[in-house]
Structure 1
Amino acid sequence: MPVREFLMEESTPLISNSSSFEHGKYETELKHHETKDDTDDIVTFKGNLLKTEVVEYEIFTASGNHMVTKPEEISTGTTNTECLMHLLKCMIGTGVMGLPMAYKNGGLWMGLAVVTLMGIICTHCMHILVQSENELCARTKIKGLDYANVMSTACATRNDWLKNWSKSSENLVNTLLVITQLGICCTYIVFITDNMKQVLETAGLTVLDSRVYVVIITALIVPLVMVKKLKTLAPFSAFANVLNFIGFLVILVNLFQDLPDTRERPAVADIETIPLFFAQALFAFEAIGMVLPLHMKMIDKPAFLGKAGVLNLGLTITVALYNAVGFYGYLKFGEDTQPSITVNLPSDDWLYLSVKVVFSVSVYITYPLQFYVPVTILWSIIENKAKENGKMVPKHSDYLFRFSLVLLTCGLSALIPHLDLLIALIGAFAGTFLAIILPAVIELLTFQCRLQVWIKNGLIIFVGLTGFTTGTYTSILEISRTF
């Protein structure tokens, strides 16, 4: 039975649309935020969208979809194909580069089986997250909710003690999103460091410590993050997509050449490294926060879910690519597998050296887009706190705040200059909650579920908590061993 039909049969809303829920009051609290100042001509929407403006440039992030608009025209939304392209762009990032190392920690055939199963579970969690959002939007008459507001609304619309945890649950999701996105920014810096260090040393130009590269790269990133206009950043995102496509094509061609027999690689790795495998693999599925903004902007929203829907098609392609890179990457390089598959590419061929440069440039120019999410969330909190205390935020202080966050990612990258361990820590600590645990919890909060759904979600939450505990502990232990 399709997931959608199963939930329709097994679950009913906790309350009806005509309940005693204070719709007007809560809608005011959750309504979109529109920010505009004399230095930034973007309009940012979180939650429900206005249908009075056309999208000229659009970037989907975990904190919502952020747009540059033309006031005189009308927005038309995204088609099914456009939504699929956005979904693939969100899902395919630096995490896929580390999957061969994940396979090394899990074993060749165990890696294939678990990554596939993980893809199925994460896809199901994305389904129930969207279905819960649909129910909560119908219940509150709000056009759209982001991840944090889905969590808070699921609590706020209940008639029991959980209603008092609405704000705390929203803060929890935002905190996890900030941790995840800042962690991704750290992996970006380390990724560029590893690849450019290898390129420059191979070319005989310079030999420097990795931490020196981190400082240099951070200095180059600072000017980019000071750009607050998404209109300026969006074309760079499109250029990065072209670079990624070319780079992945070259990598896959290399991986499929001169492959050894699968019996030369262990089917299952040592039990001590399996928690690292789980955490590293889960990091690749961290884009669940992008699902709601993508669904929100679709013209044909019912086409997003369903057996042959955009979500299932996008995740099928994504999991297939994950397994191709992970399986064949580990099969080819074995114990020599590096934290990033690009580092394993031959260093004596200009084509493969250029691929490393291509991916480094792509990651560099998309850093500000990942950075946009924590800046948006944290700076809005700072401004709201200042208003509550009757204080004015000093002009241009947001630039200093941006600079401080970049220095934070620089410090963490220099402290842990190991891409595989950073990926494992982020995937275990934040990824398990965002991709697995919280969607299952949200469904139980939103619907009055039958026993079968409770058992199913209980198993999902148990898997997530197990991965969180073992993955976080093992990651921290491995990091401590590097010092």
Structure 2
Amino acid sequence: MGVTVEVRNGKTAKENEADLEGSGAKQTHRTSNLETATHLFKGSVGAGLFAMGDCFKNGGLVGATVLMPILAVICVHCERMLIDGSISVVEKTSGVDFYDYPDTVEKVFEYGPRPVRKLSKLMRIIVETFLCVTQFGFCSIYFVFITENLHQVLQQNGIDISATTTMAITLLPAMLPSLLTNLKYISPVSMLANFSLIFGLLATLGIALKGPMPSPSERHLITNGTQMALFFGTALFSYEGIALILPLRNKMRNPENFTSRFGVLNMTMAGITAIFIFTGVIGYMRWGEEVDGSITLNLNAEDVMSQVVKIVAALGVFFGYPIQFFILIKIIWKPMKESCGMAQKYPISVQVILRFIMVLCTFGVAVIVPKLGLFISLIGALCSTSLALLIPVLLDFVLRAGVPKGLTTWVYLKNMSIIVIALLGIATGTYQSIVEIIKEFYD
């Protein structure tokens, strides 16, 4: 994924921005509609975009093309429910003008009907855990993406080393910037990462469009349930930007424009969906069942231009790793600092050690699960589905339970339908991803 922002603790907007950007940072200006849309786009388009070919292979040309917009509409609807929940609890809390995702979940349950109030702390922990696991997965996927593309180029140029050795070579360059504790020293590479990813995608699609395309009759239009489970996980992973929604809306000059009919959220997600579908159709049409977890891996390694594209795309992901890792540490650090005496006494030293250990952990998981497409499906099915679909619906149920006649038959049926879809996606997607990973591991 691109750069995401996680702001915490129910503070004022000014305090949250200062916390995010480092001590002594100036308050950032209020963003326009275009700037917010740009940030949302960058935060939602990353490794999942390059996996669209594999996503459409699992969903089928017609199946995936139809289901992607449906999933987008459901995701946007759930994001709007999260925003409504955040606005509701902020209005009930004096001295606070912003709550992030975990804070919103905790406060909605805390202010909800008496039977669910005791679940507020547990629900916050669950959300923070899923955010942490998702972000951890992003970082591990980045290692896999970089390694697979770099390994192909090295082999083509006569450097015959294993994929694990190639991954180990990337460890030190990824480690050094990840040890920095202030975002302002890391963020300059974000723009370079975005340009690299955009160039990599456009160049890959340009190469894929050269020459006559195979006939659609040579591709699956609809697939079976097993593959659909993998499609669901990859699609939800690609749409996972829900933790970014509240901070972006909060920083807008006119927050009401975020969720209006033709506002930032709807129009940006429509554009992202169109790009996903175009990339998925082109990738699957060109390479069929041979399409990889990243379409860059399908480029002819003997072609010099293809090698350049692989390297640039790998660099784009590499430059994005420290940003994603910063967000992972931000989620972990506060509860650790509050519960650990050493972290309070030596905050910088303990955080550097924590960063060192966590980089090694993301590296270790990447070594153990080297199949990029299956890794993306697993993270998407397990955590992204819960964060994007399941928890916002639970918030809506709790909010409406405290309002007379708030839970109408239509709302109940609509919410239950989303819960059923989410639970099916979590169960089938997680199971099938684990099964496929085990097969790859033993093969």
TM-score by structure 2 length?
0.92
Q: Structure 1 or 2: larger strand share?
A: 1
**Aligned amino acid, residue 397 of structure 2:** L
Distance 2:20 2:206 in 1: 36
**Aligned amino acid, residue 323 of structure 2:** L
How many pairs were matched up?
Answer: 428
In structure 2, which of residues 96, 109, 123 is the aligned counterpart of residue 169 of structure 1? 123
Residue by residue over 1:240-274, the C-alpha shift from the partner in whole angstroms, topping out at 9 and shown as x without a partner, is 11222222221222233322221211111233222
Q: Which residue of 2 aligns with 1:434?
A: 387
Distance 2:126 2:101 in 1: 11
Q: Which residue of 1 aligns with 2:68?
A: 115
In structure 1, which of residues 328, 345, 348 is the aligned counterpart of residue 302 of structure 2? 348
Greater CA drift, 136-145 or 231-240:
136-145
Distance 2:253 2:369 in 1: 44
Q: Give the 3 Å change call, closer, same or farther, for CA 106–45 of structure 1 in structure 2.
A: closer
Q: Give the 3 Å change call, closer, same or farther, for CA 143–110 of structure 1 in structure 2.
A: same
Q: Give the 3 Å change call, closer, same or farther, for CA 52–276 of structure 1 in structure 2.
A: closer
Distance 2:366 2:343 in 1: 37
Q: Give the 3 Å change call, closer, same or farther, for CA 248–451 of structure 1 in structure 2.
A: same
1:194-205 map, 5 Å: 194-204=148-158
Task: Verify: 1:125 aligned to 2:78, yes or no.
Answer: yes
In structure 2, which of residues 353, 356, 362 is the aligned counterpart of residue 403 of structure 1? 356
Distance 2:142 2:348 in 1: 30
Q: Which residue of 2 aligns with 1:338?
A: 292
Q: Which residue of 2 aligns with 1:259?
A: 213
**Aligned amino acid, residue 271 of structure 1:** G
**Aligned amino acid, residue 125 of structure 2:** N
Contact 2:79 2:242 survives alignment (8 Å): yes
Q: Which residue of 1 aligns with 2:378?
A: 425
Deviation of 1:74 after TM superposition, in Å, equals 5.9
Q: Which residue of 2 aligns with 1:464?
A: 422
Residue by residue over 1:64-85, the C-alpha shift from the partner in whole angstroms, topping out at 9 and shown as x without a partner, is x8225766x6653111110000
Distance 2:311 2:344 in 1: 46
Contact 2:128 2:331 survives alignment (8 Å): yes
1:441-460 map, 5 Å: 441-447=394-400, 448-460=406-418
Contact 2:13 2:250 survives alignment (8 Å): no
Q: Which residue of 2 aligns with 1:238?
A: 191
TM-score by structure 1 length?
0.84
Task: Verify: 1:228 aligned to 2:150, yes or no.
Answer: no
Q: Give the 3 Å change call, closer, same or farther, for CA 386–83 of structure 1 in structure 2.
A: same
Residue by residue over 1:12-57, the C-alpha shift from the partner in whole angstroms, topping out at 9 and shown as x without a partner, is xxxxxxxxxxxxxxxxxxxxxxxxxxxxxxxx765333448998xx
In structure 2, which of residues 244, 256, 260 is the aligned counterpart of residue 306 of structure 1? 260
SS of the residue 1:81 aligns to: helix
**Aligned amino acid, residue 296 of structure 1:** N
Q: Which residue of 2 aligns with 1:49?
A: 12
Distance 2:120 2:155 in 1: 53
**Aligned amino acid, residue 67 of structure 2:** V
Q: Which residue of 2 aligns with 1:160?
A: 114
Distance 1:414 1:53 in 2: 36
**Aligned amino acid, residue 87 of structure 1:** L
Contact 1:52 1:75 survives alignment (8 Å): no
Task: Verify: 1:294 aligned to 2:248, yes or no.
Answer: yes
Q: Structure 1 or 2: larger helix share?
A: 2
1:17-416 map, 5 Å: 46-51=9-14, 66-68=20-22, 75-141=28-94, 142-204=96-158, 206-257=159-210, 258-386=212-340, 392-393=345-346, 396-416=349-369
Q: Give the 3 Å change call, closer, same or farther, for CA 156–250 of structure 1 in structure 2.
A: same
Distance 1:76 1:235 in 2: 18
Contact 1:386 1:393 survives alignment (8 Å): no
Q: Give the 3 Å change call, closer, same or farther, for CA 74–398 of structure 1 in structure 2.
A: closer
Q: Give the 3 Å change call, closer, same or farther, for CA 164–406 of structure 1 in structure 2.
A: same
Q: Give the 3 Å change call, closer, same or farther, for CA 391–267 of structure 1 in structure 2.
A: closer
SS of the residue 2:143 aligns to: helix
Distance 1:198 1:177 in 2: 32
Distance 2:180 2:312 in 1: 22
Distance 2:376 2:350 in 1: 31
**Aligned amino acid, residue 371 of structure 1:** F
SS of the residue 1:322 aligns to: helix
Structure 2: gaps spanning 5 or more residues: 1-6, 401-405
Contact 1:383 1:393 survives alignment (8 Å): no
Residue by residue over 1:340-391, the C-alpha shift from the partner in whole angstroms, topping out at 9 and shown as x without a partner, is 100112223322211111111111111111111221122211111125x997
**Aligned amino acid, residue 143 of structure 1:** D
SS of the residue 2:21 aligns to: strand
Residue by residue over 1:181-221, the C-alpha shift from the partner in whole angstroms, topping out at 9 and shown as x without a partner, is 000111000000100001111122x1122112222212221
Cα RMSD of the aligned pairs, angstroms, is 2.1
Contact 1:53 1:69 survives alignment (8 Å): no
User: What percentage of residue pairs aligned between the two structures are identical?
Assistant: 30
Distance 2:366 2:408 in 1: 46
**Aligned amino acid, residue 49 of structure 1:** T
Q: Give the 3 Å change call, closer, same or farther, for CA 265–153 of structure 1 in structure 2.
A: same
Distance 1:197 1:75 in 2: 40
**Aligned amino acid, residue 370 of structure 2:** P
Distance 2:79 2:368 in 1: 34
Greater CA drift, 241-250 or 294-303:
241-250
Residue by residue over 1:393-419, the C-alpha shift from the partner in whole angstroms, topping out at 9 and shown as x without a partner, is 576122111111111111111111000
SS of the residue 1:396 aligns to: helix
SS of the residue 1:195 aligns to: helix
Greater CA drift, 254-263 or 90-99:
254-263
Q: Give the 3 Å change call, closer, same or farther, for CA 181–265 of structure 1 in structure 2.
A: same
Contact 2:141 2:376 survives alignment (8 Å): yes
